[in-house]
Structure 1
Amino acid sequence: MALVGTRVIRIAFDYQVHLLLSSTGEGGRGVEAELILETPFLFRDSTGQEHELEPGKGVCLAPVLGLFGQTLATVGVQGLGTLTIDFQNGAGLRIAPDPQFESWHLLGSGIDAVTVGPGGERAWES
């Protein structure tokens, strides 16, 4: 997947969690993408401690700041849209489809845009 090797260059919080991902590819063609998490997700910090987090909960989201500058090692989408990301420092996150709300979006250049809507998505190109 095109996101492997990108780095987290910005993290922002509001009622969503935003991760700006960037890499420079051959010939200057790289990836500039934003991953937006909208529903509760599981975050594993670099020490292996797991945190159940919910966007919009303020200071409770502080563990996610540890992703700043980190590089994505693996990215996978399973089932109806469960996104799993592992980072080179051992951190990771997992967000599953929500039955009522859009759970996550990916948009930008150098990638295919994805929105996982309520209940998940049935057609995936891996």
Structure 2
Amino acid sequence: MVDSAGPRVETEAIRPLLELSDLYSISIESPFVVEVDDETTSLRPEDVVEGTPAIQQLMGRAVEAAHADDVGGLHVTFEGGARIVVGPDPDYESWHVNGPNGALVLSMPGGGLAVWDPQPPD
């Protein structure tokens, strides 16, 4: 997971996919919440299109902290206090984070986490 400040939201896609840097990306595949400036927006991935206001407000913000909880929830805090929260899904992988060298963390259907450690570069 991202432990330090620095990566920023650079692009968005329909899934939604947040490209945090050349090294990390977050794919959200279940309902989630975006909190920006005391405004909370609940979204479903299929409703997110390019330019969705709640996602647009995250563009260019640095990630201050990100963690996955034991039940499979994802909590990402951005500079200025904005947050994305994705809970576990009973039937699907609700999110996954891709990292360098094949590192992968995902929320399992029904809760819990699956973790693939990075592979050493060739």
TM-score by length of 2: 0.80
Question: How do 1:1-126 residues align onto structure 2 when only pairs under 5 Å count?
Answer: 1-5=1-5, 6-13=7-14, 16-22=15-21, 32-45=23-36, 47-58=37-48, 61-109=52-100, 112-121=103-112
Gaps of 5+ in 2: 116-122
Q: CA RMSD in A?
A: 2.2
Distance 1:10 1:58, change over 3 A: closer
TM-score by length of 1: 0.78
Distance 1:120 1:88, change over 3 A: same
1:27-55 CA distance string (max 9 Å, x none):
xxxx611100000001101x111111111
Q: Secondary structure at the match of 1:56?
A: helix
Shift of 1:123: 6.6
| AA partner of residue 8 (structure 1) | V
Structure 1 or 2: more strand by fraction: 1
Runs of at least 4 residues of structure 1 off by over 4 A?
A: none
1:52-103 CA distance string (max 9 Å, x none):
1111114594311111111011112112211111111221010011001110
Do the aligned residues in 1 keep the contact of 2:18 with 2:26 (CA within 8 Å)? yes
Gaps of 5+ in 1: 23-30
Task: Give, in whole Å, the separation in 1 of the partners of 2:10 and 2:62.
Answer: 9
Q: How many percent identity over aligned positions?
A: 29
Shift of 1:3: 4.9
Task: Give, in whole Å, the separation in 2 of the partners of 1:93 and 1:68.
Answer: 13
Task: Give, in whole Å, the separation in 1 of the partners of 2:33 and 2:20.
Answer: 19
Q: Secondary structure at the match of 2:10?
A: strand
